[in-house]
Amino acid sequence: MGPHDEKPSESRYMMKKYAVGIIIIAVGVILLLVNTDILPYQVKHIIISWQMLLITIGIVSFFSSESRMPGTILILIGGFFLLPRIFDLPFNAMHIFWPLILIAIGVLILSKRMPHHPWQKSINTPNQPLEDGYIHEENIFSGGKRRIMHQVFRGGHISCVFGGSELDLTQATLAEGVNELEVNAIFGGVTLIVPSDWKIQLKMTSILGGFDDKRAYVKESPDPSRLLLIKGSAIFGGGEIKSY
């Protein structure tokens, strides 16, 4: 991996570092104000909640991920369920959550008829070549299957929000060095089919979901220096790695 390939990854790492640092400082300041009775104690129940956890992960993902859509979805979901904790709403939030989801699905289905929308990155042509060895795919309320034939694979990103993706890499060659693939599965799933001798390392954040290497048999890699690093998040969704 050349120096130009490392700059985007390094930039996203720095943005993630600053986002995490600022969030931790903000939480610490708010807890300090609560514990010194400057802010009401009820604020603590808002800060320490699963809704705020989703918002926090969404903010970090928004600033550190190549794709902003997963972070935006998490922020919206967390914010939606946090509203009843802050305001006395005249209705049950759960009663309108799924109707709003159905409305959103309908809007996106109608919008997909129009060209050049960002959620039209789902690729269903099985043997379409990669762009410089990188995959860039977003499936939102949709799915895609893709087979990489006789190409060098360098990583990229796959985002599935209420959708799914299957990527067949059995005929691909892993590039030299460390190759990063960012996977975000939110209420969706990702399946990677890889050669059994690929060296893979997982660094996934999972919340009510998971991403597992389910290869029944992993052969020793002929070149251990070639590594596929899979990182990202599995929120109410997940994925798996398998081989034939």
Residues 13-72: tens digit of each pLDDT: 677 777 778 888 888 888 888 888 888 877 888 888 888 888 888 887 777 666 566 777
- Cα(170)–Cα(1) distance, integer angstroms: 21
Within 10 Å of residue 241's Cβ, how many Cβ atoms? 21
Q: Check pLDDT > 70 for residue 224.
A: yes
Q: Check pLDDT > 70 for residue 120.
A: no
Residues 104-117: tens digit of each pLDDT: 666 655 655 443 33
Residues 172-192: tens digit of each pLDDT: 999 999 999 999 888 889 999
Tokens 């290869």 found at: 215
Tokens 């159905």 found at: 102
Q: What is the widest separation between alpha-carbon atoms in the chain?
A: 64
Overall average pLDDT of the 185-202 stretch: 90
Q: What per-residue confidence (pLDDT) applies to 121?
A: 43
Q: What per-residue confidence (pLDDT) applies to 45?
A: 80
Q: What per-residue confidence (pLDDT) applies to 123?
A: 44
**Residue that wins the pLDDT comparison between 22 and 240:** 240
Q: What per-residue confidence (pLDDT) applies to 10?
A: 65
Q: Check pLDDT > 50 for residue 194.
A: yes
- pTM over cut 0.85: no
Q: What per-residue confidence (pLDDT) applies to 150?
A: 78
- Cα(183)–Cα(11) distance, integer angstroms: 18
CB contact set of 167 (below 8 Å; sequence gap of 6+): 135, 137, 146, 148, 158, 190, 191, 192, 193
- Cα(149)–Cα(171) distance, integer angstroms: 5
Residues 153-173: tens digit of each pLDDT: 999 989 888 888 999 999 899
Q: Check pLDDT > 50 for residue 209.
A: yes
Categorize the per-residue pLDDT at 2 as very low, low, confident or very high, splitting at 50, 70 and 90.
very low
Give the residue extent of every domain in the chain: 3-89, 121-242
Q: What per-residue confidence (pLDDT) applies to 61?
A: 74
Overall average pLDDT of the 6-19 stretch: 65
Residues 124-139: tens digit of each pLDDT: 455 566 678 888 888 8
Residues 74-109: tens digit of each pLDDT: 788 888 888 877 777 766 766 777 787 677 666 655
Within 10 Å of residue 10's Cβ, how many Cβ atoms? 11
- 136 bridge partner residues: 157
Within 10 Å of residue 152's Cβ, how many Cβ atoms? 14
Nearest residue to 136 (alpha-carbon basis) of 176, 184, 172, 195: 184
Amino acid, single-letter form, for residue 83? L
Q: What per-residue confidence (pLDDT) applies to 178?
A: 92
18: left (phi over 0), alpha (psi -120 to 50) or beta: alpha
